[in-house]
Amino acid sequence: GESEEGLLGGHCAELEALVTRLEVVTSKLEVTLSALQSFSLPALNNCHLELSRNSSPIATDSQLTMNAVAGYRNLIQGPLSNYVKQSNLIGGHVAEHAKLVEDAFNVQSSYVEMASCRADPGQSEQVNLLGPTSAKIMAIQEFREKNRSSTYFNHLSAVSESIPALGWVTIKPAPAPYIKEMSDAGQFYTNRVLKDWKEKDKKHVEWVKAWLETLAELYKYVKETHTTGLVWAASKGGVAPPPPPPLAGMPSPPPIGDLSLQADANDRTALFAEINQGEGITRNLKKVTSEMQTHKNPGLRTGPAPFKPTTVSSSFKHNLPGAPKPALTKPPVFTRDGKKWLVENQIGNHGLIIEGADMNNVVYMYGCQDSTLTVKGKVNSVFLDSCRKTSVLVDSLVSSIEFVNCQSVQMQVLGKVPTITIDKTDGCQMYLSKDSMDVEIVSSKSSEMNVLIPKANGEYTELPIAEQFKTLVSGKGLVTTPVESKG
C-alpha cells in the first residue's frame, strides 16, 4: 500500500511539473501572437519572401523591429485618426482631402513594415518602392490645385504644403529636421485658417490642432526610432549576406596582400638621411631654363581641357523621391467665381484689368509671370501666390494685399491699404500713396523688400525693410533689433 501511494505521488509530481511547463509555453505563444499582430499580412508575406530568397538569414533585433512598426501604427491610430475625425466634422473638400492623407500614411506604414524585414535596396530599386507613396503625395497636392475656388482652400493648402514630410524615408543622416521644415512650410496657411475661423467655428481650430499634432508626433517618432535615417533590417546588427560568387569564365579576384603600416626600418632611416642633407638636398633638381618658362613662351600655357564633373541624367533626377518635377504649362485663367476673382497662369500679359468689383470681393493671382494686373475700384483683398516679375496696381483695399512664394514683384496703391503681408518672397517693391502712410507691413522669410514713399515733388523715397536682426537676452526675455546695413 505504501509503495502504491509513493508511486502515485511521483506521478502526480511529474504531472504537475508537466502542467507548469505547458503554462509557460502557452504564455510565450500568447506573447509571440500579440507581437505578430503588429505586422500587416502583406508585410509578413514580404518577410517570408526575403528570408526564403536568402540562405543566410539576417540576425535582427526583433524588439527594435516591432517598435518601429508598432510606433508608426500608433501614429495612425492616434493623432492621424483624430485629424481624420476633425476633417469629417467639417466635411466637404476637407473630408475628401483627409481620406487621401490617410491613404498616404497607410502606404508609408506598409513601406516601414517592409523595411523592417529586408535589407536596404539600391537607389534604383528604392525609387520603384517609393512609387506608391509619391503617387499619394501628388494626389493630395493635385486635389488642392483642382479646388482653388473652395471655401476651404487654406485648409487644403496647409496640408498640401506640409505633406512632403512623408519624404523623410529618403533623408539621411537626420530625417527629423526635414519633417519640422515641412511643418513650418504649411504654417502660413494654418495661421490663415485660425484667423478666418476662430471666431466663426471652433471645429476649424480643433482641426488645425489635430493636423499639427500629427506632424509633431511623426517628428517625435522619426527622431526616436529612425534617428539617422529609415532603419532597414540588415542595419540592426545583423550579418550581411555573403557576396555573390564570380561569374562563369571570370577569374577570381587576387588575394589581398599584407596591408600593415609597419615600414622597413632601413627605408625609414634612409628617408630621414636624405631630408637632413641641408642645402645639398637640391643638388639633384633640374634647372628651369628660359625655354621652359611659361611667361616667356606663351605657347606653353595651353594645357589640358578643364575637368568637367559627371552629370546625372535629367530623367534620373526627376525620378528621385522629392526631386522637383519639370514645370508644366497650364492654360491661363481670368474669371470671376462668386466673390473671388481668379487670375492664373498668365505669362507676358500686361493688360489684365478687373473692373466692376465689389468691396467684399477677393482677387487671387497665381502662377503668373511677366504680367501686370490693374484692379479698379475698392476690393476686400488681393493675394499673389507663386508669381514672378508681376506687378499689381490697386485703387484701395478694405483688408490687405499678400505676397507668398513670389519673386521680383511690385505693387502700387493709389488710395488706402491697411496691411501688406510678405512671406517667402524674394524681391518686393511697394509704392505707397499719401493715404497709406499708416500701413502695417508684416514680413517673414523674405528678402530684398523696399517701401517707396511719395515726396511733394512726385518722386519717391526708397526705404529698405530690415532682413537681419540682433537678439539680446534681457532679464527673462529677449530684445530684438534690426541690424542696419553699412554698405
- Residue 129, all three cell numbers: 518602392
pTM beyond 0.75, yes or no: no
- Residue 292, all three cell numbers: 621652359
* Residues 368-380 pLDDT 10s: 999 999 999 999 9
Q: Which helix (H) or strand (E) holds 441?
A: strand 440-444
What integer is the mean pLDDT of 55-63?
45
- pLDDT category at 4 given cuts 50, 70, 90 is low
* Residues 5-46 pLDDT 10s: 555 555 666 667 666 766 665 655 554 444 444 444 444 444
Between CA 312 and CA 93 the distance in angstroms is 40
Between CA 12 and CA 69 the distance in angstroms is 45
Q: What is the pLDDT of residue 476?
A: 83
Percentage, residues of the chain above pLDDT 70:
67
For residue 391, the cross-strand partners are 372, 410
- pLDDT category at 484 given cuts 50, 70, 90 is confident
Higher pLDDT, 62 or 101: 101
Hey, what domains does the chain have and what are their CATH numbers? 61-226 (1.25.40.330), 333-482 (2.160.20.70)
Contact by Cβ (8 Å): 238, 58: yes
What integer is the mean pLDDT of 106-115?
91
Angle at 333 between CA 329 and CA 334, to 5 degrees: 150
Between CA 102 and CA 182 the distance in angstroms is 18
Say yes or no to pLDDT of 308 above 70: no
Between CA 174 and CA 254 the distance in angstroms is 39
- Residue 249, Cβ neighbours under 10 Å: how many? 5
Q: What is the pLDDT of residue 116?
A: 83
* Residues 165-187 pLDDT 10s: 999 998 888 899 999 989 988 88
- Name which of 230, 235, 177 is nearest 69 in CA terms: 230
